């Protein structure tokens, strides 16, 4: 156990790190992986062998979590892959500016004004309409490897 | 075509009884009339076409599925059962259709020399193949051959009951005709390789298969002895040897004729050798047949080895294809095993020889030559030997195959028993994998997979067999004495008091090694966890030994401490935890077992508790390595939870209780991490499912309270959430995840429900126990809003949802009555949706729920109470009240819409109480229907029918069984009477 504890602490300090190494064989479907320097969500994993009596290798199909592009990679399953540190945070939406930026309320009371509205039509209209109707909206911002994007939206009731 | 089934059946019988034979006569006469001309003429004459057509027609007629005969023979089937094998034994081989036309056909087909004529015709045709216009595959030759093969599968009561003499003669006649096609085998196969067409030879093989299907191996073998110095089995064996030889020399991936011939002949062997009545006894072959079997098996092994070493060269480009062919290969291997067991005393030493040759080759060549070919050969040998030595369990503990138990008569010393020698040599070989150096050069992951597979299959049968003790009891007669002795020697050799424990120790150490030293080899580790280790803990007596072994303790320690084992894939992780917890049943008493489980799991729970107490949990938790550890431990907890037995229930319960708070906290921090959420939910589902029936009232209350908090938390995270992604794949993934989560939640509710049905707790009933029904309704209330109509398109989810719904409506209608109007409306809405669902089951469940509700309401009303009260009366959204609403929609459904006839009785059961509840509404609806009918005749028909629905058959206004039955009949007749014209209007 003490071993495990140590492992845990040391990583906690390295919180700023963007990616972590992880054995390819342990990366599962629905997990994350870095392929060609892009953070991806794994949608398919299959294993095969290099030659009849060789070692296993993993074939990953991932989808870039920011731009939706499909990427593939093959890695020997005992080797390490990079796994991105994907963070999601909820913010309350306080304003939408004319130039397409949003203003968000952080937990400690500051505002975060550096995010643009999403390009996705559906989400965009949901946010704009909801905001115009005076609904109280919470947006989820996903960040990984230095990029950020609004990825989800939740209506927590109308303003009184 | 609009006519009832009976009519078609009658047509069929009439054709079979009255006309089929006449047609056959015509065809035969037509063929007969031109036969001489064809035989006499050297060139192709128009008559050939006539004859071909006639032959085809005869073949078609014989392909008819004769029914009449099978019915009539049922009574007298035993008369010649010595020869005729029953349908069920041979029907496994669907490719071989039995021809059973019955006694009436005897004169045409058998006694009139018909077969002789046909064989004569074909023999004459064979002479002509050199002439112009005739060749081996010319239409007339093909049809004649097909007809001959068809005759080979002639069986049933067409043959007189003279102990099978008549059938034997018939088959002998055929066989002597066919013999020219396949005998002598080496000449035939050489001719084919040199360019002769193979179809005649293949038809010959098919004929053998047909003959084998309708006889026993004894009769089969005897047939040829009448005309040759050897039996048919020998012919079969030499023929197949030739085929296999050809297969070996030109080994390509294409399906050549030798492939096909091999498969047909292998089927023939299987049919002959497969145990007839499931009692497991292959009848013994005569010495000559045994020899034949041994020969062919040696040939098969040689060819498989050749194929194996050749396949090394072609790389794994087609690994998908390989996966697909594994099941086909399995079937082939079990056929090989049948052949091998027919001559077991020769084949086992043969296998041992093959193994030792290769072991030596590996040993000497290490580091000098590339071992890949030998490895691949060992791989196939292991698969073949595994099949020969042991059967698959199929969930039960397989016995040592009878042939192995009985055939080694003169072996008294266990160490010299061939099976022991073979097994021991393989185990010793496997043990070498413990040496890292040897492992690196010899034990490739693929070879190790075969080793593990073999060990699992082998140990399931031979390791510490239960029979060992019983063996002492069996009293043998004198002549059996020897065989029993050798059997005992074999069984006890790997028994508890002999080598069993040593071998078990080796196996455990090898398993631990595959888990630790083959990182990332999921398939291998999966085999070890799911196959080998699971096999071991399935038997109590092995568990007893296991927990006392140091190697098992090492495995448990590695499980707790070794980081390498945290990297196992999720299913393997779970399975390993489950296996270890299950092995606790081998300990002396429940206290020790619980202590053992606690020791296994405490590290995981402490980790989760400590993690969830971190102040910076929110940021720490998102790190990939933490996510990995958490997922790993949750998988293990889930594995342990699913292994709970009465003996270890306490420890597993405490394990769950200790992580309750962490689970809720993790649910909060991982709300965006669907994979972890699913693990959390699944763990809780499995844990509750395993525990709920044991819990005392107090504990139940706290578990239920926890479940409700979990549900609420999950719901608050997900309700009203819109996820968006640029990729449609990710979107659909997200939907699937949602579906899986919800399904888990429904399962959780269902297992809570089961508390009311199965309860092992010590409290007397309902001390101050929690009201489960309220809890479940409340849970449903939380979950339902998350289930959109979109999600109900997933059949499993839909099914789970409606079965839960109908269950609680049936069992707890009174709680339903107390729901607030929103929740009530929602449930009513879903019921309405379910009624119009395509899935029969779903509609059935909804009808069941409706019946329960309406009859509850009606009974309460009769007793002067309010029943469903305000809900029934209708208000707010439903001004008409729910029962009148459902009455209307159910009638609409029954009278005007499409549905399966199977639903009518369920619908009747729901309709009766609905009508009784809302008689006024029913009257009004009926009148409306009648008024709408313009045609006066139909109008009166409808009125009468509706009237008799509620009045005929002495229908009363009570809700008892008799009355329900009457109403079902009434509804049926109503539907027959009016649905036709109502729907066409």
For chain A, the structural domain boundaries read 19-84, 86-155
The two structure tokens encoding residue B983: 């729907």
Q: Do B730 and A65 touch (CB under 8 A)?
A: yes
What's the CATH number of domain A86-155, 2.60.120.10, 3.30.1490.100, 2.40.50.140, 3.40.50.2000?
A: 2.40.50.140
What would the mean pLDDT of B779-787 be, rounded to a whole number?
Answer: 80
- In the three-class reduction of DSSP (H, G, I as helix; E, B as strand; rest coil), residue A158 is classed as strand
Residue to test with chain B: of A53, A60, A69, most B Cβ within 10 A? A53
| pLDDT tens for each residue of B763-782 | 544 544 567 777 787 788 77
Q: Do B603 and A1 touch (CB under 8 A)?
A: yes
Q: Which of A58-72, B123-137, B705-719, B876-890 has the highest mean pLDDT?
A: A58-72
Answer yes or no: are the C-beta atoms of A140 and A152 closer than 8 Å: yes
Distance from CA of A61 to the nearest CA of B (A): 11
| pLDDT tens for each residue of B903-952 | 888 899 898 888 888 888 888 888 888 888 888 888 888 888 888 888 87
Q: What pLDDT is attached to residue B477? A: 44
Q: What pLDDT is attached to residue B90? A: 37
What is the per-residue burial (b if ≥16 Cβ within 10 Å, else e) of B870-887?
ebbbeeeebeebbbbbbb
Asked if the model's pLDDT at residue B322 lies above 60, the reply is no
Q: Do B675 and A23 touch (CB under 8 A)?
A: no
d(CA B659, CA B630): 12
Distance from CA of B625 to the nearest CA of A (A): 7
Q: The complex's ipTM?
A: 0.84
Q: What pLDDT is attached to residue B36? A: 84
Residue of B569, B610, B672 with shortest CB distance to A140: B672
| pLDDT tens for each residue of A53-82 | 888 899 999 999 888 899 999 999 989 999
Q: Do B722 and A156 touch (CB under 8 A)?
A: no
Chain A: residue whose CA lies nearest to B602: A1
d(CA B504, CA B414): 18
| pLDDT tens for each residue of B365-415 | 777 778 888 998 999 999 999 999 988 776 677 788 878 877 776 777 778
Q: Do A58 and B619 touch (CB under 8 A)?
A: no
Q: With bands split at pLDDT 50, 70 and 90, how would you rate the model's confidence at B874?
A: low
DSSP state of B528: I
d(CA B136, CA B153): 23
Q: What pLDDT is attached to residue A12? A: 38
| pLDDT tens for each residue of B959-980 | 888 888 888 888 888 888 888 7
Asked if the model's pLDDT at residue B610 lies above 60, the reply is yes
Which residues in chain B have their CB less than 8 angstroms from residue A50's CB? Answer: 316
Q: With bands split at pLDDT 50, 70 and 90, how would you rate the model's confidence at B325?
A: low
Intrachain domains A19-84 and A86-155 with the same fold: no
Which residues in chain B have their CB less than 8 angstroms from residue A151's CB? Answer: 723-725
DSSP state of A117: P
What would the mean pLDDT of B651-657 be, rounded to a whole number?
Answer: 93
CATH class of A19-84: mainly beta
Q: What pLDDT is attached to residue B654? A: 93
Asked if the model's pLDDT at residue B275 lies above 80, the reply is no
Answer yes or no: are the C-beta atoms of B854 and B811 closer than 8 Å: no
**Beta-ladder partners of B456:** none
The two structure tokens encoding residue B135: 């060749």
Residue to test with chain A: of B448, B604, B621, B724, most A Cβ within 10 A? B724
Q: Do A22 and B628 touch (CB under 8 A)?
A: yes
Q: Do A15 and B620 touch (CB under 8 A)?
A: yes
Q: Do B522 and A77 touch (CB under 8 A)?
A: yes
Chain B: residue whose CA lies nearest to A66: B726
What would the mean pLDDT of B352-363 be, rounded to a whole number?
Answer: 92
Distance from CA of B617 to the nearest CA of A (A): 10
Q: Helices B319-342 & B344-365, crossing angle to 10 degrees?
A: 130
Long-range contacts of B888-896 (CB under 8 A, 24+ apart): B888/B921, B888/B925, B889/B832, B889/B835, B890/B835, B890/B850, B890/B914, B891/B925, B893/B835, B893/B836, B894/B971, B894/B975, B895/B929, B895/B975, B895/B978, B895/B979, B895/B982, B895/B983, B896/B982, B896/B983
| pLDDT tens for each residue of B560-577 | 998 889 989 889 999 999
d(CA B40, CA B523): 67
Q: Do A28 and B567 touch (CB under 8 A)?
A: no
| pLDDT tens for each residue of B49-59 | 888 888 888 88
Residue B870 C-beta-side C-alpha neighbours within 13 Å: 9
* Cβ-based neighbour number of residue B472 at 10 Å: 9
d(CA A81, CA A42): 12
């Amino acid at each position: 156990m003490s071993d495990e504890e140590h492992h845990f602490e040391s990583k906690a300090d390295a919180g700023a790190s963007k990616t972590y190494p992880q054995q390819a064989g342990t990366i599962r479907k629905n997990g994350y992986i870095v392929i060609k320097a892009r953070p991806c969500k794994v949608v398919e994993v299959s294993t095969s062998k290099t030659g009849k009596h060789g070692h296993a290798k993993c074939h990953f199909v991932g989808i870039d979590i920011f731009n939706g592009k499909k990427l593939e990679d093959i890695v020997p399953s005992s080797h390490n892959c990079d796994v991105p540190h994907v963070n999601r945070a909820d913010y309350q939406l306080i304003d939408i500016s004319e130039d397409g930026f949003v203003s968000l309320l952080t937990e400690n009371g500051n505002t975060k004004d550096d995010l643009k509205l999403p390009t996705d039509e559906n989400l965009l209209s949901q946010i704009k309409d909801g905001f115009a109707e005076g609904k109280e909206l919470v947006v989820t911002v996903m960040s990984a490897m230095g990029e950020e994007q609004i990825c989800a939206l939740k209506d927590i009731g109308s303003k009184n | 075509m609009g006519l009832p089934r009976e009519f078609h059946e009658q047509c069929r019988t009439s054709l079979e009884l009255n006309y089929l034979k006449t047609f056959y006569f015509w065809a035969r006469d037509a063929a007969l009339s031109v036969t001489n001309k064809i035989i006499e003429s050297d060139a192709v004459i128009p008559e050939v076409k006539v004859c071909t057509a006639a032959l085809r027609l005869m073949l078609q007629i014989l392909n008819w599925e004769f029914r009449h005969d099978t019915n009539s023979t049922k009574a007298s089937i035993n008369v010649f059962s010595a020869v005729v094998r029953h349908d069920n034994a041979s029907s496994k081989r669907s490719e071989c259709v039995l021809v059973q036309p019955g006694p009436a056909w005897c004169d045409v087909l058998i006694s009139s020399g018909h077969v002789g004529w046909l064989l004569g015709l074909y023999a004459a045709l064979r002479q002509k193949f050199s002439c112009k216009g005739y060749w081996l595959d010319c239409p007339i030759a093909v049809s004649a051959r097909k007809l001959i093969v068809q005759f080979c599968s002639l069986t049933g009561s067409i043959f007189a009951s003279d102990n099978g003499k008549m059938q034997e003669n018939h088959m002998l006649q055929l066989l002597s005709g066919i013999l020219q096609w396949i005998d002598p085998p080496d000449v035939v196969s050489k001719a084919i390789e040199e360019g002769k067409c193979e179809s005649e030879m293949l038809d010959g093989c098919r004929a053998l298969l047909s003959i084998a299907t309708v006889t026993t191996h004894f009769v089969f073998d005897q047939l040829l002895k009448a005309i040759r110095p050897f039996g048919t089995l020998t012919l079969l064996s030499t023929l197949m040897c030739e085929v296999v030889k050809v297969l070996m020399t030109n080994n390509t991936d294409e399906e050549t004729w030798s492939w096909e011939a091999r498969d047909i002949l292998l089927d023939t062997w299987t049919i002959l050798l497969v145990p007839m009545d499931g009692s497991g006894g292959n009848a013994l072959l005569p010495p000559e047949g045994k020899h034949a079997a041994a020969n062919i098996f040696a040939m098969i092994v040689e060819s498989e080895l050749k194929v194996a070493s050749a396949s090394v060269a072609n790389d794994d480009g087609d690994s998908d294809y390989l996966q697909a062919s594994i099941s086909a290969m399995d079937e082939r291997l079990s056929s090989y095993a049948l052949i091998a067991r027919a001559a077991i005393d020769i084949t086992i030493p043969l296998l041992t020889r093959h193994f030792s040759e290769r072991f030596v080759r590996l040993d000497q060549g290490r580091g000098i030559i590339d071992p890949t070919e030998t490895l691949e050969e060992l791989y196939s040998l292991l698969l073949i030997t595994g099949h020969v030595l042991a059967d698959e369990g199929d969930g039960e503990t397989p016995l040592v195959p009878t042939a192995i138990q009985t055939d080694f008569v003169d072996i008294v010393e266990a160490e010299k028993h061939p099976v022991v020698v073979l097994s021991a040599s393989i185990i010793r070989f496997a043990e070498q994998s413990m040496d890292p150096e040897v492992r690196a050069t010899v034990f490739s992951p693929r070879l190790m997979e075969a080793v593990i597979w073999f060990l699992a299959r082998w140990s399931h049968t031979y390791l510490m067999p239960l029979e060992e003790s019983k063996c002492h009891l069996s009293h043998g007669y004198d002549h059996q004495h020897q065989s029993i002795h050798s059997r005992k020697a074999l069984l006890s050799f790997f028994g508890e008091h002999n080598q069993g424990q040593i071998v078990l120790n080796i196996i455990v150490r090898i398993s631990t090694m595959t888990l630790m030293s083959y990182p990332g080899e999921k398939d291998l580790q999966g085999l070890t966890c799911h196959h080998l280790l699971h096999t071991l803990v399935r038997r109590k007596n092995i568990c007893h030994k296991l927990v006392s072994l140091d190697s098992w303790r090492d495995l448990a320690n590695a499980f707790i401490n070794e980081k390498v084992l945290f990297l196992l894939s999720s299913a393997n992780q779970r399975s390993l935890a489950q296996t270890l917890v299950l092995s606790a049943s081998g300990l002396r008493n429940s206290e020790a077992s619980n202590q053992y489980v606690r020791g296994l799991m405490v590290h995981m729970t402490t980790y989760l508790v400590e993690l969830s107490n971190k102040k910076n949990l929110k940021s720490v938790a998102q790190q990939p390595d933490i996510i990995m550890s958490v997922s790993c431990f949750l998988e293990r907890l889930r594995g342990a939870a699913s292994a709970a037995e009465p003996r270890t229930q306490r420890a597993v319960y405490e394990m769950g209780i200790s992580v309750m708070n962490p689970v809720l906290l993790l649910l909060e921090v991982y709300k965006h991490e669907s994979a972890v959420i699913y693990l959390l939910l699944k763990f809780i589902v499995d844990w509750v499912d395993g525990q709920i029936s044991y819990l005392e009232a107090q504990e139940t209350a706290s578990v239920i309270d926890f479940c409700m908090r979990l549900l609420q938390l999950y719901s608050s995270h997900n309700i009203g959430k819109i996820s968006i992604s640029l990729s449609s794949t990710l979107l659909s993934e997200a939907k699937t995840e949602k579906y899986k989560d919800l399904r888990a939640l429904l399962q959780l509710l269902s297992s809570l429900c089961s508390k009311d049905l199965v309860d092992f707790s010590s409290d007397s009933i309902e001390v101050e126990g929690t009201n489960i029904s309220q809890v479940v309704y409340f849970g449903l209330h939380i979950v339902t809003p998350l289930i959109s109509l979109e999600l109900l398109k997933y059949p499993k989810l839909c099914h789970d949802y409606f079965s839960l719904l109908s269950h609680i409506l049936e069992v707890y209608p009174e709680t339903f009555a107390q729901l607030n109007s929103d929740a009530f409306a929602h449930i009513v809405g879903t019921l309405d949706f379910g009624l119009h669902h395509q899935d029969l089951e779903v509609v059935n469940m909804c009808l069941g729920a409706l019946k329960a509700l309406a009859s509850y309401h009606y009974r309460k009303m009769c007793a002067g109470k309010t029943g469903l009260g305000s809900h029934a009366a209708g208000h707010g959204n439903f001004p008409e009240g729910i029962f009148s609403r459902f009455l209307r929609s159910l009638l609409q459904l029954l009278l005007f819409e499409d549905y399966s006839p199977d639903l009518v009785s369920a619908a009747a059961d729901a309709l009766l109480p609905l009508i009784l509840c809302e008689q006024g509404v029913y009257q009004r609806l009926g009148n409306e229907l009648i008024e709408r009918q313009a045609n006066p005749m139909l109008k009166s028909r409808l009125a009468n029918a509706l009237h008799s629905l509620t009045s005929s058959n002495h229908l009363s206004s009570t809700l008892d069984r008799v009355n329900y039955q009457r109403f079902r009949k009434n509804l049926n007749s109503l539907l027959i009477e009016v649905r036709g014209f109502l729907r066409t209007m």
